[in-house]
Structure 1
Amino acid sequence: MDFTEEQMERYSRHILLNDVGVEGQIKLLESKVFIIGAGGLGAPIALYLA
């Protein structure tokens, strides 16, 4: 997967981390999350994951 210039700018700090790197960022971009409920805990989680 090749990153666009916009993605490189946005995720450059993640890619620099030894624990994430390019492979980890690709996994994050390809992942999906299901949040049950949007109450006191679900709403902030949805914002952080967006």
Structure 2
Amino acid sequence: MWKFDPWPVFFKRDWNRNSPFLVGFAIIGTLITELSLDLTDKEGKNSKFAQRHE
């Protein structure tokens, strides 16, 4: 018995509306990851944010 799969219909219909959000989320996530991986331990310990949250 064949079952209806709604996912292809959903993605085809809503891709134009959701694509800017998904692309922006991917770009911001990549930037945050790159910037946080560039920090050294010394820079992380000396940051005001880390000192406030210890």
Interval containing the TM-score (normalised by the shorter chain): under 0.3
Normalising by structure 2, report the TM-score. 0.26
Q: Could you state the TM-score of these two structures normalised by the residue count of structure 1?
A: 0.27
Question: Highest relative contact order (Cα 8 Å, sep 6+), 1 or 2?
Answer: 1
Which structure shows the higher helix fraction?
A: 2
User: Which structure is larger by alpha-carbon Rg, 1 or 2?
Assistant: 2
